[in-house]
Amino acid sequence: MRSKKQIDRRQFFGYAAGAMSFPYLVSSSALGGAGRVAASDRITVGCVGVGPQGTAVMRNFLSQKDAQVVAVCDVKSQVLKAGQDRVNQHYQGPGCAGYKDFRELLGRDDIDVVLVATPDHWHVLAALAAVRAGKDVYLEKPMGLSLAQDQALRTAVHRHGRVFQFGTQQRSSRNFRFACELALNGRLGDVHTINVWSPGSSQGGDPTPVPVPEWLDYERWLGPAPYTPYTKDRCSNKLWWFISDYALGFIAGWGIHPIDIAFWGGGKKVTTPLTVEGKGQWPTEGVCDTAMNWNVVLKYDSGLTMNFTGDPFPEEWKNRYGRTTSHGTAFEGSEGWVHVDRSGINAHPKELLQTELGPGDIRLPESSNHVRNLLDCTRTRARTIAHIDDAVQGDILCHISDIAIRLEQKLKWDPKTERFVGNDAANRRLSRPMRSPWTL
């Protein structure tokens, strides 16, 4: 299955970039034997970023019989090789191409879908380039480092008519969907409160500059981020997640998961103007500088209150919901509550869990596999379960929460203009500069 849009390759090769290219060879199953779909009808996939999370999603693509991963990209040489080896072992042949520059991967007109699972500061730039190249996109969460980045990607997805799937895979779980449907259909009575919590960020990291490891293309890894001398483990998952040049920390990196479910089940009540205020706990040592914990209150003009915090969360919630983990979303109504996380779902009264919804009830779209949903929508051009418009709205809640705790001010948010009301300092934080030559 080939992308319909032909690509002007010059836009991707404007900068010199090294790449390791390999001939594209397919195994004997290419003709559709052994239960596989014929090569002419497969959706071809390129993976940009094949670290732990990228590899996990890539494995899902590999498990789909009508998809074929044909290329991977990473700026860490040993990670790139491991990604290629994994694909080649799966297909039992040396067919996976490897690149250090994602623009070379995107320059191939035989790729239909691109997985973007880079560090966060690259998410939007890589996804933007993929969309403009006529590719459908699976983008790992969170979305951008600023609202301006999110908005640029949303505009491009609509303008180019691309299918987009956000990596908030909890939407592809029955429990999360059912909890939202209980809230949306009035089974809890009038929903007045949504409690949301996630793991917090970490501190640490030795700030002493050290030589860049030979396996890392540090300049390419930094890309649009400010130049900073390399320090030990700076580009590892245990540090970059918590450095504001590359991420917002877990207020977005993990928080987007329970926040997304809160938005999904909040319905019209979470589309009105709101105030947001809160405080954060900040690192006192090392290179990490994102909030280790936070307590944010979002009050909507609809009358709904959303409480968003990092772990540890209030003891009252543990006592109320009984079974709790380091993350979760709880909808509180006048006649009951439902709490859901990745370990299960519980409610009060318990009979709520036996609810059978009828044809007249609000029903959310169903998906049992996030990658499968994207592939199906790539064929039908339908909306994915985590489409771009909802993805941006969920990401916005993380952004305005982070801005509120950094300014320690009560802020008014207008969802129609996507701006703070009467606060220039807060609005300036809705965008951030990029290091040349990178721009939106």
Long-range (24+ apart) CB contacts under 8 A made by 263-266 are: 263/390, 263/393, 263/394, 263/397, 264/171, 264/176, 264/180, 264/364, 264/390, 265/179, 265/180, 265/181, 265/182, 265/183, 265/184, 265/194, 265/329, 265/331, 266/183, 266/191, 266/194, 266/304, 266/306
Q: Which CATH homologous superfamily contains domain 9-162?
A: NAD(P)-binding Rossmann-like Domain (3.40.50.720)
Phi-psi region of 426 (alpha: psi -120 to 50; beta: other; left: phi over 0): alpha
> pTM of the prediction?
0.91
Phi-psi region of 305 (alpha: psi -120 to 50; beta: other; left: phi over 0): beta
Per DSSP, 173 falls in state S
For residue 35, the model assigns a pLDDT of 58
**CATH classification of 173-205+216-364+388-428 is 3.30.360.10, yes or no?**
yes
Q: How many CA atoms lie within 13 A of 130 on its CB side?
A: 31
For residue 17, the model assigns a pLDDT of 35
The ranges of the chain annotated as CATH 3.30.360.10 are 173-205+216-364+388-428
289 burial (CB, 10 Å; 0-12 / 13-18 / 19+) is middle
For residue 20, the model assigns a pLDDT of 32
For residue 34, the model assigns a pLDDT of 53
Do residues 299 and 305 make contact, with C-beta atoms less than 8 angstroms apart?
yes
What is d(CA 378, CA 380) in angstroms, rounded to the nearest whole number?
A: 6
Q: Which residues of the chain have pLDDT under 50?
A: 3-32
How many other C-beta atoms can be found within 10 angstroms of the C-beta atom of residue 431? 16
For residue 160, the model assigns a pLDDT of 98
